[in-house]
Structure 1
Amino acid sequence: MTSSSPLLQVRDLRVDIGERTVLHSVSLDVPAGSLVVLMGANGSGKSTLGMALAGHPRYNVVHGQALLDGKDLIGLEAHERARAGLFLSFQSPPDIPGVKNNLFIRTAMNAVRESRGEAPLDAFDFLKSAKSGAKDLGLPETMLGRPVNEGFSGGERKRNELLQLAMLKPRLALLDEIDSGLDVDGVRAVVALIERLRAQGTSFIVVSHYLQMIELLKPDTVLRLDQGCIAETGDLELARSIARTGFARNAATAEA
């Protein structure tokens, strides 16, 4: 990939779930260090895009291409996509009973470090870094020793995913309504972390309807997804227009 090529290139992506086509034809570019906000009504395919790019087995890519740094994502297994630098936050992060949070994050970190040719972190260095990251995000240190998300509140689950994001430092992060369930301090922590990682070269696709956070994020591009296709491309003014008029009215205006 040349230096002028986008980090992520998606072309004419069609995704089916079972017998139903959810994404009909999606094309987009995400340059290194940039931030794209993805908006759309419920059921428009926002989460499907993230799941398909991350390699969830229920989401069948039947047509199109997705390249990350020139590498064909569709031909990789889910864990290979993560090693290549792709990170996905879940809209509803699941429990992983029996797996301690610190072990889960450290194992993921060392797998990524190995793929980069870096030495693994030992338990002491990891825990020191994880405790510092948890403090920055307002996540109690005790959460590190508990099973992943088990008994966590909605906000704690989202902060825990932010901790994973901070520790893994991916090339591309897909954040699916990361602000959901967070209080004001949590939203500020999201914005601060994204700003820090963007400065280090991480690209973001952020799914959100929360205009205040979108304004704080200062996205490079805002996309409106409608019925499995990119219906509009714009900047922050597009997000503000959607917030004022709603998706249905905005769609009618775009078609006029």
Structure 2
Amino acid sequence: MSELIIKDLHVSIEEKEILKGVSLTIKSNEIHALMGPNGNGKSTLLSAIMGHPKYIVTSGSITLDGIDVLTMSVDERSRAGLFLAMQYPQEVPGVTNSDFLRAAINARRDTPIPLFSFIKEMEKTIKDMEMKPDLAHRFLNEGFSGGEKKRNEIVQMRMLKPSMAMLDEIDSGLDVDALKIVASSVVALQKEIGCGVLAVSHYERFYQLLQPTHAHVLVDGKIVAEGNEELVTKIDTEGYDWLYKEYNIQPVLEVKENKTFTLGTCAAPKKGTQV
């Protein structure tokens, strides 16, 4: 059983504090919904966990199965079992999906995955995600539609089989059919390997499909309310105004910024090996 523990986490960006003491524990077989108005720190939390260099952890701790995550590089966090399905997936010209995924998988293994086993699993995953059969040979996200990019993130998640999966608005921009495919794939993987899931979304429909075991509301860099799926429903029907009044919270206005970035690669080889 895996356990991701975040304690009193404070994170700043360009000397501005975004997270102001977040504590959260996610265990295997749990699905956590992370909600809150735009610009209040949800993506910051996920990026900080994954190790984006733009987000500076000023205090607090993050551990995965008792190991200090904050001392790890991005690729080490990925190999340890963390995965982030990004809100804005990057295009990587010249690198095919199959080459990227095989290198990433091999970086997690003592011996390379047999080619036949890799091809068989990737073909099945692509079929399950109802994507075009030539996906494996296309450059990573290049020329993909927004929905294809999001589904390709789930292809990667299914293939890499993380112990902790984080989804940053993976449902945004998906039509109804694609939303069902993505949600069912996340649930299938969660049941298959028992991974923990932390999902950011603004839509109850997505959470209805995921059926979260826990729900958290993040406002102004702090978790101000916690519950279960009933909390998701209440926010969907009543919004956040009742929270502002009940907890005397001043909502933070969203600051528009260019959110395109890269985390580096989770396919970085171990020292002394080749991919």
Counterparts of 1:16 and 1:59, CA distance in 2: 6
Q: Is 1:220–1:235's contact at 8 Å kept on the other side of the alignment?
A: yes
Map of 1:179-194 to 2, 5 A cutoff? Answer: 179-194=171-186
Which residue identity lines up with residue 216 of structure 2 in the other structure?
L
Q: Check if 1:219 corresponds to 2:212.
A: yes
Aligned to 2:74: 78
Q: Check if 1:148 corresponds to 2:116.
A: no
Map of 1:87-102 to 2, 5 A cutoff? Answer: 87-102=83-98
Alpha-carbon shift at residue 254 of structure 1 (Å):
4.4
Q: Is 1:16–1:22's contact at 8 Å kept on the other side of the alignment?
A: yes
Q: Check if 1:246 corresponds to 2:254.
A: no
Counterparts of 1:248 and 1:107, CA distance in 2: 47
Aligned to 1:110: 106
Counterparts of 2:108 and 2:180, CA distance in 1: 27
Alpha-carbon shift at residue 145 of structure 1 (Å):
0.8
Cα distance per residue 1:142-181 (max 9 Å; x no partner): 1221111011000000110000000011000000111112
Aligned to 1:172: 164
Counterparts of 2:138 and 2:210, CA distance in 1: 31
- Count of matched residue pairs: 248
Task: List runs of 5+ in structure 1 lacking aligned partners.
Answer: none
Counterparts of 1:15 and 1:105, CA distance in 2: 31
Query: What is the identity percentage for the equivalent residue pairs of Structure 1 and Structure 2?
Result: 42
Counterparts of 1:255 and 1:32, CA distance in 2: 34
* Aligned mate of 1:232, from 215, 225, 228: 225
Alpha-carbon shift at residue 98 of structure 1 (Å):
1.4
Q: Is 1:54–1:87's contact at 8 Å kept on the other side of the alignment?
A: yes
Q: Deviating runs (4+, > 3 A) in structure 1?
A: 253-256
Aligned to 1:39: 35
For 1:57, what is the secondary structure of its paired residue?
coil
Cα distance per residue 1:190-220 (max 9 Å; x no partner): 2222222222210000001110121221111
For 2:59, what is the secondary structure of its paired residue?
strand
Q: Check if 1:13 corresponds to 2:6.
A: no
Point out the more displaced range, 196-205 or 57-66: 196-205
Aligned to 1:195: 187
Cα distance per residue 1:92-112 (max 9 Å; x no partner): 111111111110111111112
Task: Tell me the TM-score normalized by structure 2.
Answer: 0.86
Q: Is 1:55–1:78's contact at 8 Å kept on the other side of the alignment?
A: yes
Q: Check if 1:24 corresponds to 2:16.
A: no
Which residue identity lines up with residue 164 of structure 1 in the other structure?
Q
RMSD: 1.5
